[in-house]
Structure 1
Amino acid sequence: MYNSSSLPESLYVKKLLSMIEATQAGTWEWNVQTGECRFNARWANIIGYQLDELSPSIESWVQHSHPDDLILSNQRLEDHFSGRSPFYECEARMRHKDGHWVWVRDSGRCETWTADGKPEWVIGSHIEITHLVELRHRFSTIAALIPGVVYEFQQFSDGRTRFPFASAGIKEIYGVTPEQVVDDASAIFKALHPDDIPHIMATIADAKATMSDWICEYRVVVDDKERWVFGHARPIYKTHDSMSWYGMIVDISERKAMELELERHRRNLKQAQTLTKLGHWEANLKDKSIEWSEMIYTILGWQEKPENGDFHFFRASTHPDDLERVLAAENELKPGHTVDIQHRIKHTDGHYLWVRQIVEMEASGELVLGTLRDITEEKELELKLKEQAERDPLTGAYNRRYFTEALENLVHRSERYQEPLALVTFDIDHFKQINDTFGHEAGDRVLIELVRTLDELVRTSDIFARTGGEEFSLLLPNQNVKQATKTAERFRAALEKLVIRTHHQAIRITASFGVAEHCNGGMHSDLLRQADSALYVAKNRGRNCVNC
């Protein structure tokens, strides 16, 4: 690398010209007020001419450009001159000397202005993109054959949104053409069902915060017709002030209708199974005997009734962690009453099933009737969904939503039982620099290793959560600020020693900690503000420290 400021001006200009030549860019300078233009040889070569064959005026551009693209070019220039865009940029066709059209990416910026504020000299470049446009056309042709819409959606930090690319299917989904949203995506948001917009925006925000795939089912309304769609996209930072999402959206109206109908049938089937006692048993309390239906054998994997299959069999086969709950349900059972309980029971191959039992004692108090249904898949899905709702998908730590609920509950408990409660919040120091230096994949690895390391220091009663991009919080029940400060110091020391290795590189991190203790009568928001203020002080003290 060389420092341009240390080079003689002539040598610096020579090197700069060499760089431009290496990019095969055609350069131009245009005096907007006089029409004078200065082109380099490459500008002329792109359209098959020698430089001396072209007039050094704006007419060389006008005469060789496609009329339709000149309209767009003038609009983009006006946007730039009026300050609506920092640069001028346009893709346009130019007529080659032999008659065919050549695509160029035309970009530039106004460098000087007249005394009365009019644009004067504009400088820019032409890059030939014919091959790129042809590839894009092929991709568009293929994308048009794919059900739904394939797209690139771009978000800017100032709130603007656009679809730089969308396949023709966007018309079927949203009722707009690709051209209508290439610069402004607001028409898309107008088609969203109002009741679904909060959910859509929340899923976009979550995916952006974690740089994970956006997946969402929602409704759109076009011409008063409601339909269900499924969206899946992946976020990628495109520039310092924008993010692009690459994905597809498909119409799932038929599938959704089937799902809703299936859900209705499931409810009916569930009721029918209870009413018909499918998978049922009868226990006689007098002689301690029990009779099963064939479905019970099937569910538990028995070919025939086990030797110990008496009245106590279910109790003996119940998972130890569920036994207390099962015994409590038995104690609640009274003549004429019904008990509904879910628990685990051992299968013949040794693994445990989740079952739901609805048990009723007859009025005589001698006969107990029960139904048993295998709900393993439903329960595992329920537990998985519960974990997904509570856990950060990248690190496995609790997420912000779970943390907020836990904070409110623990503050309430602290008030009620007069128990101490402390909160520790901390940020990874200079995390953006890690991402910029080593890449977002390495940044993700840092977050994962941080949680893995600190999990070993967390008590079972503590709540450790990722509450932001590189922000974490730790709720410490039954700890005062002095104890919590010691805990935070152990965390800080552990992170200071941590070495994360990725792609043959060693990354070291530090973190700044803020500690606060709940005060009687205070709100959970007060505790958050106190911890955040302490964290702010820790950062101002030079980072890698604990402040309370």
Structure 2
Amino acid sequence: MQNQSHFKAVSQQHILDILHNSEIGLWEWDMQNDINQINERWAAMIGYTVEEISPLTFTRFESLIHPDDLPIIHAALEAKQAVPERLFSCVFRMQHKQGRWVWIKARGDFSQFESGKPVAMAGVHFEVTELMGKIELERVVYQQLDELMAGTRVAFYSYEPTPPYHLNYVSPNLTADFGLSMHSGDINTDWHQRLHPDERDYVIAEFRQFMASKRRTDLIRTFRMRDKNGVYQYIEDHCHKVIENGEVVRVVGSAQNVQEFMDQDRLLKRIADVALGLLYKFVRAPDGTVSFPFANKSIFDIYGVTAEQVAEDASSVFAAIHPDDVQRVAESIEESAQTLLPWDCEYRVIRGDSTMWVHGQSVPELESDGSIAWYGMIMDITEAKHTEQQLREYQFQLERAQEIAKLGHWRANMSSGELFWSDTIFAIFGFDKQDITPSLDLFNSCVHPEDIEAVRESERVAMETGLHNVEHRIIRPDGEIRWVHELADYTQTESNGRYLTGTVRDITETKLLELELRKLSDTDALTQIDNRRSFFLKALPMLNRQNRIQQPISVIMFDIDEFKRVNDLRGHSAGDQVLIKVSAAVRSRLRGMDLFARLGGEEFIVLAESITCEQAVNVAEQLRHLVSQLEIKLDRDNVFKVTASFGVAERLLDESLDDLMIRVDKAMYRAKQTGRNRVAVAD
């Protein structure tokens, strides 16, 4: 219950906005005039717009229902009429505009009465196609709620699996609301005696059937229970059998007020959809005071404070920011407040004796009272920042070392072609001093063909600046390729011609290390393909080139379906194998010129030049089929397959990379929403 006060701070209008912009279908049935008012999401669940399906009478509604499910709806309505206090609730199929069947869970209640009789009914629709039923839907909703926010008004309990089902544990909030505790005895006595008389026999019979069943492990039901004030309240109760060695050892459960659960769940999902990490709402009031009305538990990992400590005063958060960064962070917040543009800032946080680098991103909104609220996330980027700093420091040291090291010296007459080498240079180039006579022609023949123009350009620059400074490859007589660094002064005399006098150093090991470090910074360590950073660095030049040559360019984004389930059921090593094999298979089917990268987690992207949207769809279909046919073999008896959902988009004229990725991401998300293992084209 620790975050309950945070949610109460949100205005009713704000919650209504959340409701209307959520993935929930809303309906209100005027029973007298037989007209059903619906929102866009209700219609979109079955492929229509509100205009296409209006006016929506009950007869029209029935025509969309699967014939086998009509009795279910009629029975639920009759039950509602018989027991008005009970919620209308049922699961059924509706026909999509494209002809397929969509599973819907409907819940509702009478919303208007005249002369004591109901004249209107209102409720919600949830699409539960993939879950196929009420029990699985409720389980997933509870799981999501538990993961996103522990501090809700959910009560927990545990009891023995055999009669009289003695209570082992009851959470404090269940005691506070209903007066139930471990001292209440058992389920059969005090607990069941609190049930509403109209429902007691049914609930007890259902409970006994569940406990007697050898196959059922979960029971979810809705009923009324008398609280400590004598008022009956609807609660949703979820019982789960804990099985060890094939035997039920205890039963655990949760109970919750239905309406409060739905309100808090919508708000939590809005916040959690932003990203992973420290999820928060940060508010600056008109008087300048700042607070975090909402922050998940990760705020302690970042700033060392709890959500309760900063709910009304965020000064302790700013006190944790590195003194050298405080002003810059404050200025970035002020700029975002003035422009209402997204806030994006990297800064340091002091945690005890250590310093942490974090990256914050959020979107500001102007509140009705003049406050500004930022919804966003903050991520710990300490490891990445240290790697970046170490690489930059190493590169600087490497450059300085190359400038001052003198492993061999030489002098070249650029007019006559004569060349002098010290003994060390013969060893670097792989020659025996007794066998050859140095010359510019010999030197040029040793330079790697791909680098000869760079050497020539440095020589031309030396004539203007007096400094010859170039790194290039040489090919030794035995075929070995080495990297060298030449540093020389250019002089010109009237009598003796033009000269370059300088040093050459074998930098092969350091150069290869530099290239490897550069590769590591641009390569995903697990899949050995480009990482997110490398993708954005390489993608922009490709888009600029497209602007010049006026050729099509398309992007394919895909995400491995139910990847979390693979990790949960088979372990993270299995998940790693999936990522490795999928990326290797996809890379083998792409062209050498295509940019293929892992954006993060199980999400990948392909940027393909000279490819139209239609051609990209064909490629995506081939890749989708390829992925679905892959066999992930952990051992001889553990082989499984995966699928992926694809989004495809062709770049529009002068479209930015960010806008292009937003379009293809929406297409990929649509592919997942419509069944997974398919290709969707961006709008």
Bin the TM-score by the shorter chain.
0.5 to 0.7
> For 1:13, which of 159, 162, 165 is the aligned residue?
162
> For 1:280, which of 409, 431, 441 is the aligned residue?
409
Compared CA separation, residues 15 and 195, structure 1 to 2 (3 A): farther
TM (normalized to structure 2)? 0.45
Compared CA separation, residues 188 and 351, structure 1 to 2 (3 A): farther
Are the equivalent residues in 2 in contact too, given 1:423–1:476 (CA < 8 A)?
yes
Task: Compute the displacement of 1:318 (Å).
Answer: 2.3
Look up the SS of the partner of 2:492 in the other structure: coil
Query: Map of 1:201-212 to 2, 5 A cutoff?
Result: none
> For 2:528, which of 388, 396, 400 is the aligned residue?
396
Q: CA RMSD in A?
A: 5.1
Compared CA separation, residues 492 and 290, structure 1 to 2 (3 A): same
Look up the SS of the partner of 1:368 in the other structure: strand
Give the equivalent residue in structure 1 for 2:665.
532
Task: Compute the displacement of 1:447 (Å).
Answer: 0.6
Give the equivalent residue in structure 2 for 1:296.
425
Query: Map of 1:326-475 to 2, 5 A cutoff?
Result: 326-330=455-459, 334=463, 337-346=466-475, 350-364=479-493, 365-475=497-607
Give the equivalent residue in structure 1 for 2:106.
none
Task: Pick which of 499-508 and 294-303 moved more.
Answer: 294-303
Task: Compute the displacement of 1:272 (Å).
Answer: 4.3
* Amino acid across the alignment from 1:474: V
Is the counterpart of residue 193 in structure 1 residue 310 in structure 2? Answer: no
Give the equivalent residue in structure 1 for 2:649.
516
> For 1:115, which of 219, 229, 246 is the aligned residue?
229
Are the equivalent residues in 1 in contact too, given 2:349–2:356 (CA < 8 A)?
no
Give the equivalent residue in structure 2 for 1:140.
none
Task: Compute the displacement of 1:477 (Å).
Answer: 0.7
Give the equivalent residue in structure 2 for 1:100.
none
Q: Deviations over 1:6-49 (max 9, x none)?
A: xxxx99326978x98xxxx9x99x9899x99979xxxxxxxxxx
Q: Could you tell me which runs of 5 or more consecutive residues in structure 1 were left unpaired when the two chains were aligned.
A: 1-9, 40-110, 118-154, 165-173, 198-217, 232-247
Look up the SS of the partner of 2:625 in the other structure: helix
Q: Could you tell me which runs of 5 or more consecutive residues in structure 2 were left unpaired when the two chains were aligned.
A: 1-158, 184-224, 232-276, 280-294, 327-346, 358-381
Look up the SS of the partner of 1:366 in the other structure: strand
Report the Cα distance in structure 1 between the residues aligned to 2:674 and 2:181, rounded to whole angstroms. 57
Are the equivalent residues in 2 in contact too, given 1:488–1:513 (CA < 8 A)?
yes
Give the equivalent residue in structure 1 for 2:297.
160
Compared CA separation, residues 270 and 535, structure 1 to 2 (3 A): closer
Report the Cα distance in structure 1 between the residues aligned to 2:644 and 2:674, rounded to whole angstroms. 12
* Amino acid across the alignment from 2:297: R
Give the equivalent residue in structure 2 for 1:317.
446
Are the equivalent residues in 2 in contact too, given 1:512–1:538 (CA < 8 A)?
yes
Are the equivalent residues in 1 in contact too, given 2:395–2:514 (CA < 8 A)?
no
Report the Cα distance in structure 2 between the residues aligned to 1:426 and 1:222, rounded to whole angstroms. 38
Compared CA separation, residues 112 and 357, structure 1 to 2 (3 A): farther
Report the Cα distance in structure 2 between the residues aligned to 1:112 and 1:369, rounded to whole angstroms. 97
Task: Pick which of 343-352 and 399-408 moved more.
Answer: 343-352
Report the Cα distance in structure 1 between the residues aligned to 2:633 and 2:526, rounded to whole angstroms. 18
Task: Compute the displacement of 1:434 (Å).
Answer: 1.4
Report the Cα distance in structure 2 between the residues aligned to 1:499 and 1:265, rounded to whole angstroms. 47
Q: Deviations over 1:380-433 (max 9, x none)?
A: 232122212212222122112222233333222222221111111111122122
Look up the SS of the partner of 2:162 in the other structure: helix
Task: Compute the displacement of 1:488 (Å).
Answer: 0.9
Report the Cα distance in structure 1 between the residues aligned to 2:629 and 2:642, rounded to whole angstroms. 8
Compared CA separation, residues 315 and 306, structure 1 to 2 (3 A): farther
Report the Cα distance in structure 2 between the residues aligned to 1:278 and 1:521, rounded to whole angstroms. 51
**Paired residues, what number?**
375
Report the Cα distance in structure 2 between the residues aligned to 1:192 and 1:288, rounded to whole angstroms. 62
Give the equivalent residue in structure 1 for 2:133.
none
Task: Compute the displacement of 1:515 (Å).
Answer: 1.0
* Amino acid across the alignment from 2:229: A
* Amino acid across the alignment from 1:160: K
Report the Cα distance in structure 2 between the residues aligned to 1:414 and 1:264, rounded to whole angstroms. 34
Report the Cα distance in structure 2 between the residues aligned to 1:427 and 1:454, rounded to whole angstroms. 12
Give the equivalent residue in structure 2 for 1:130.
none
Compared CA separation, residues 38 and 440, structure 1 to 2 (3 A): closer
Q: Deviations over 1:148-183 (max 9, x none)?
A: xxxxxxx8875324889xxxxxxxxx9x9xxx99x9
Are the equivalent residues in 2 in contact too, given 1:163–1:184 (CA < 8 A)?
no
Query: Map of 1:57-96 to 2, 5 A cutoff?
Result: none
Report the Cα distance in structure 2 between the residues aligned to 1:543 and 1:32, rounded to whole angstroms. 45
* Amino acid across the alignment from 2:411: E
Task: Compute the displacement of 1:278 (Å).
Answer: 5.4
Report the Cα distance in structure 2 between the residues aligned to 1:436 and 1:264, rounded to whole angstroms. 44
Report the Cα distance in structure 2 between the residues aligned to 1:314 and 1:15, rounded to whole angstroms. 95
Report the Cα distance in structure 1 between the residues aligned to 2:507 and 2:514, rounded to whole angstroms. 10
Compared CA separation, residues 498 and 308, structure 1 to 2 (3 A): farther
Q: Deviations over 1:57-88 (max 9, x none)?
A: xxxxxxxxxxxxxxxxxxxxxxxxxxxxxxxx
Report the Cα distance in structure 2 between the residues aligned to 1:417 and 1:535, rounded to whole angstroms. 28
Q: Deviations over 1:480-520 (max 9, x none)?
A: 11111111111111111111111441121111111111111
Task: Compute the displacement of 1:543 (Å).
Answer: 1.9
Compared CA separation, residues 416 and 449, structure 1 to 2 (3 A): same
Are the equivalent residues in 1 in contact too, given 2:581–2:632 (CA < 8 A)?
yes
Are the equivalent residues in 1 in contact too, given 2:645–2:672 (CA < 8 A)?
yes
Give the equivalent residue in structure 2 for 1:479.
611
Report the Cα distance in structure 1 between the residues aligned to 2:584 and 2:483, rounded to whole angstroms. 30
Are the equivalent residues in 2 in contact too, given 1:335–1:361 (CA < 8 A)?
no
Give the equivalent residue in structure 1 for 2:676.
543
Compared CA separation, residues 156 and 400, structure 1 to 2 (3 A): closer
Report the Cα distance in structure 2 between the residues aligned to 1:377 and 1:387, rounded to whole angstroms. 15
Look up the SS of the partner of 2:559 in the other structure: strand
Is the counterpart of residue 501 in structure 1 residue 636 in structure 2? Answer: no
Report the Cα distance in structure 2 between the residues aligned to 1:37 and 1:336, rounded to whole angstroms. 88
Look up the SS of the partner of 1:454 in the other structure: helix
Report the Cα distance in structure 1 between the residues aligned to 2:624 and 2:396, rounded to whole angstroms. 53
Task: Compute the displacement of 1:343 (Å).
Answer: 0.8
Are the equivalent residues in 1 in contact too, given 2:423–2:433 (CA < 8 A)?
no
TM (normalized to structure 1)? 0.55
Are the equivalent residues in 2 in contact too, given 1:336–1:363 (CA < 8 A)?
no
Look up the SS of the partner of 1:424 in the other structure: strand
Report the Cα distance in structure 1 between the residues aligned to 2:588 and 2:490, rounded to whole angstroms. 48
Report the Cα distance in structure 2 between the residues aligned to 1:442 and 1:469, rounded to whole angstroms. 14
Look up the SS of the partner of 1:547 in the other structure: strand
Are the equivalent residues in 2 in contact too, given 1:426–1:514 (CA < 8 A)?
yes
Are the equivalent residues in 2 in contact too, given 1:297–1:305 (CA < 8 A)?
no
Task: Pick which of 515-524 and 327-336 moved more.
Answer: 327-336
